[in-house]
Chains A and B, each alone.
Chain A
Amino acid sequence: MNAIYILWLRQIKRYFRSKSRLVGSLGQPLLFLLALSFGFGPIFQKAGIGNYLEFLAPGIIAMGILFTALFSGIEIIWDKQFGFLKETLVAPVTRIKIMIGRTLGGATIATVQGIIVLLIASLIGFKFEMIGVIPSLAFMFLIALIFTALGTAIASMLEDMQGFQLIMNFLVMPIFFLSGAIFPLGDLPESISIITSSNPLSYGVDGLRGVLINSSHFGISLDLLVLIVTSGILLLIGGYLFSRIEI
C-alpha cells in the first residue's frame, strides 16, 4: 500500500512541477474548444441540432484526458532512458504494485486535466447539469485509467521515444477523431459506425455527455459497463507487459 502511494505521489509531484507540461496540455484543448465551437457553432445551430459548444465540451474534456493519460505512459520510456526505472524495478515490491501505483498516478493527473478543461469550457460559456458533475468525475477517471494503462502497455514494449511517437500519431489521432468527440454518432455510414462503436473513447465521451448534458447515444449504463470492462482488461495487459520489462 505504501509502495503504491509513494509511486502515485511521485507522478503527481512531477506533473505539478513541470510547468511547461501543465501549460502545454491546456493549450490544445482550449484551442479546440475555441476554434471548433466558434467555427462550427453557427452551422450546427442552422442544422437545428442545438448548441455546438454543449455538444463539443465533453468531447474536448475526453481529449484532454486521452492525451494526458497516454503521455504518462511515455514516462516509462523516459524513466528507462534516464535510468530511474531500474531503481523501482529492483525494489522488493511486486511489479504489479509498481504498475498500479504509476497507473493510478497517471490517471489522477489525467482526471485533473479533465476537470481543468471542464472549468475552462464553463468559462467560455459551456452550460451543464450541476448534478452531473460528480458522476462525470467517475467517467473521467475511467477514461484516464484506460488510456494510462494503454500507454503503459505500449511503453513497456518500446526501447526509445521514436517508436512511441509513431504509435502515438497512429493511435491517438484516430482514437480522438473516431470517438464522436467532435461529431454526433447517429447517422454515420456503417463502416465508420463499426469503428466508432469499437473505440472505448466513444463510450467515455458518450458517458460524459450523458451525465453533463443529458444526451447519450449508447445509454449511460452501457457506457459505464464498456469502460469498466475495458479498463480491467487493459490493466491486466499493461501489468503483464510491465512485469516482463528487462533493462
Chain B
Amino acid sequence: MKDAIVQVTGLVKKFGEIEAVRGIDFSVEHGSIFAFLGPNGAGKTTTIKILTTLLKPTSGKILVNGFDPLTHQNDVRRSFGIVFQDPSLDDELTAYENMEFHGVLYNIPQKLRKNRIEELLKFTELWERRNDLVKNFSGGMRRRLEIARGLLHHPKILFLDEPTLGLDPQTRNHIWEYIRNLNTKENITVFFTTHYIAEAEQSAKQVAIIDHGQIITRGTPEEIKRQAKTSSLEEAFISLTGKEIREETMGTKELFRNSHKMWRRS
C-alpha cells in the first residue's frame, strides 16, 4: 500500500521457545481506523509493543510513519501515542500530575497543555478528582485517566490496546465518539485492539484478525462478514477463530500485579 502509516512485513517475535508472532504482514492506511482483533494470546499486544519500540522483533521489517523502530526509535516515538493494555499510571502521583508529567515529556507547550489537560479531565469526568492520588482511584477511573493521558498529545497515530477494557457501556460509547472525532477532525490514524467486537464493527474501517501469531484474514468489516457468511462481525470472528477457549497464560508480572491489586483493594 502506498499511503501506509504502518507497514509490517514478515514480522516474527519469539520469547525463547514461544513463538508469539509468526511472520505477519499487514499495513494500516494513513488516516484510517484499524482494528487488530484476535483471541487471548494471539499476539496483538506483542505486535503493538514491537511497533512502539518497547520490544525488538526477532525478524521482519517494520515502518511506522516511515521510520524503522529499530534504527530510528525517537522518530517513531514522536509519531505515536499509546494507551496500554496493562496499567501504566504512577500511583503515587495525582491524576493531574500524571497528565502534567506526560505533557512535559511530550513537550506540549504550557498553555496548550493546561487547556488540554482540563478539557480531557472534564471529558473523562475526573476533573473534580484531579488532585487525588491515583492509588485511591477505582479501576474504571484509572482506565479513563489512561485514555485521557493517551489523548493529550495529538500524534500521527494512536495505538489503543483494549482501551475500553473494564469500562461501562456509556463510557465506552462516549470515548469512542471522542476517538472517531479525533480521527476525522485531526486525521489521526487509530490502531486498536478490543474484545468487544461490536466496537470494531462500529468504528473500524479496516480489520485484521490474528490468531496463534498469524493473520487469518484482513479487510473491511463488510468484506469479512461476507467471507464468513455471517451477519455480524462477532459471528464472523467466532467462525474464523473457532470456539475453543484460549488458555490465558499469566506471566509472573501479571501475577505480581494482580496480587498487588488485591492487596491494595482489601
Q: Which positions in A face B, CB cutoff 8 Å?
A: 2-3, 5-6, 10, 13-14, 17-18, 81-84, 86-94, 159-160, 246-247
Q: Are B107 and A83 in contact, CB atoms less than 8 angstroms apart? A: no
Which residues 66-123 in B have Cβ within 8 Å of A in the complex? 74, 77-78, 80, 82, 84, 86-93, 97, 100-102, 104-107
Q: Are A2 and B84 in contact, CB atoms less than 8 angstroms apart? A: no
Residue of A nearest to B78 (CB): A92
Given A90-B54, A246-B56: A84 touches B104 (CB 8 Å cut-off): no
Q: Are B92 and A17 in contact, CB atoms less than 8 angstroms apart? A: yes
Given A91-B77, A92-B78: A84 touches B90 (CB 8 Å cut-off): yes
Shortest B113–chain A CB gap in Å is: 11
Provide the residues of chain A in CB contact with B260, threshold 8 Å.
81-82
Provide the residues of chain B in CB contact with A93, threshold 8 Å.
74, 77, 105
Q: Are B107 and A2 in contact, CB atoms less than 8 angstroms apart? A: yes
If A2-B107, A91-B102 are given as contacts, then 4 extra A-B residue pairs at C-beta distance below 8 Å, sorted by A number, are A10-B93, A86-B54, A87-B89, A92-B106
Shortest B211–chain A CB gap in Å is: 24
Tell me the complex Cα distance, A71–B231, Å.
57
Q: Are A81 and B89 in contact, CB atoms less than 8 angstroms apart? A: no
* 21 cross-chain CB contacts under 8 A: A2-B104, A5-B104, A10-B90, A10-B97, A14-B90, A17-B133, A18-B92, A81-B257, A83-B84, A83-B86, A83-B89, A86-B54, A86-B84, A87-B89, A88-B105, A90-B53, A90-B77, A91-B106, A92-B74, A93-B74, A160-B256
Partner of A82, one of B52, B82, B87: B87
Provide the residues of chain A in CB contact with B252, threshold 8 Å.
159-160
Tell me the complex Cα distance, A91–B78, Å.
7
Which secondary structure dominates chain B's binding surface? mixed
Partner of B77, one of A13, A83, A92: A92
Q: Are A84 and B89 in contact, CB atoms less than 8 angstroms apart? A: yes
Provide the residues of chain B in CB contact with A84, threshold 8 Å.
88-90
Given A18-B92, A159-B252: A247 touches B107 (CB 8 Å cut-off): no
Tell me the complex Cα distance, A91–B87, Å.
16
Number of A-B contacts (CB under 8 A): 82
Q: Are A91 and B84 in contact, CB atoms less than 8 angstroms apart? A: no
Provide the residues of chain B in CB contact with A14, threshold 8 Å.
90, 92-93
Tell me the complex Cα distance, A93–B257, Å.
27
Tell me the complex Cα distance, A213–B78, Å.
52
Provide the residues of chain A in CB contact with B55, threshold 8 Å.
246-247
Provide the residues of chain A in CB contact with B92, threshold 8 Å.
13-14, 17-18
Tell me the complex Cα distance, A92–B52, Å.
11
Residue of B nearest to A247 (CB): B54
Q: Are A6 and B101 in contact, CB atoms less than 8 angstroms apart? A: yes
Tell me the complex Cα distance, A15–B95, Å.
18
Provide the residues of chain B in CB contact with A18, threshold 8 Å.
92
Q: Are B257 and A83 in contact, CB atoms less than 8 angstroms apart? A: yes
Tell me the complex Cα distance, A50–B134, Å.
53
Provide the residues of chain B in CB contact with A3, threshold 8 Å.
104-105, 107
Taking the complex as formed, is B2 at the interface, i.e. its CB lies under 8 A from any CB of chain A? Answer: no
What are the interface flags for B126-146 relative to A under an 8 Å C-beta threshold, 1 for contact and 0 otherwise?
Answer: 000000010000000000000
Provide the residues of chain A in CB contact with B91, threshold 8 Å.
82
Provide the residues of chain A in CB contact with B77, threshold 8 Å.
90-93
Residue of B nearest to A101 (CB): B105
